[in-house]
Amino acid sequence: MIYANSRKRVQVAKGSDNSRSLLRLLFWEGMALIGFLHILRYPNANPLWSLHFHYNAIVFLIAYPLLYVYRWKMADGFLGLVMWPVSILLSWGLGVSAYLWITYWLQFSGSPYTGSLMNHWLVLGALFIFIYFPLIQPVLGTSQKYFSLGPLLVIFFYSGLGGFLGLLLGKFVDGKYGVSIGNNRFLLWLSLILIGTAVGALAARKQGKD
């Protein structure tokens, strides 16, 4: 009995969770495959970014199922210990991949946010980390703790609320100091929205632990 409880605690700590759904893995892998075929059919006008998007799709198609299966079946035991450093690389690599996927689909949809994501990738990429781990990883099912649909909806609600508050804060700051900020006003708004979204997602996850 003691051994079983200890093993369960170790399993939870390492992130192995047999409740993970194969459907989520197949869904996102299928979406990535559709995206890859879309990239092949409609290459980007910028050759460099076209290569980024092309190879990013390939990386995601390989890395995502590896990390998902690791979290699902291999996080405990000796094999999990051996694969642990690889899982860290996969986790961060998928974060970069998610940023590029969002950039690609925003560009294809003609969104005005695309230029900022491409030209200010260093700043926005750093901020993106704060929404990748608490929000995007649970959606992909690659976070250490697996979130089913109900908890995910709670995370989405809090994230949306946080992003909205970030938008209001951006409006306030822009009204007060917009002239002095100059051309970086749009970047400021986007940064505050991302920060608000991240805080909301973290608050939702903390509430789930209580």
Tell me the pLDDT band of 69, cut-offs 50, 70 and 90. very high
Residue ranges making up the domain that contains 94: 1-112
Considering the domain boundaries, does residue 20 fall inside one? yes
Q: Quick one: average pLDDT of 48-75?
A: 92
pLDDT in tens, 179-200: 666 666 777 778 888 889 989 9
Our count of domains for the chain comes to 1
Q: Is position 97 within any domain? A: yes
Instruction: Tell me, yes or no, if the pTM score tops 0.85.
Output: no
Q: 18 in a domain, yes or no?
A: yes
158 occurs within a structural domain = no
Question: Mean pLDDT for the chain?
Answer: 83
The reported pLDDT for the residue numbered 25 is: 95
154-182 core/surface letters (b: 16 or more CB in 10 A; e: else): bbbebbebbbebbbebbeeebeeeeeeee
Evaluate whether residue 123 is within a structural domain: no
Average of per-residue pLDDT across 35-42: 93
Task: Report yes or no on 106 lying in a domain.
Answer: yes
**Pair 88, 144: CB distance under 8 Å:** no
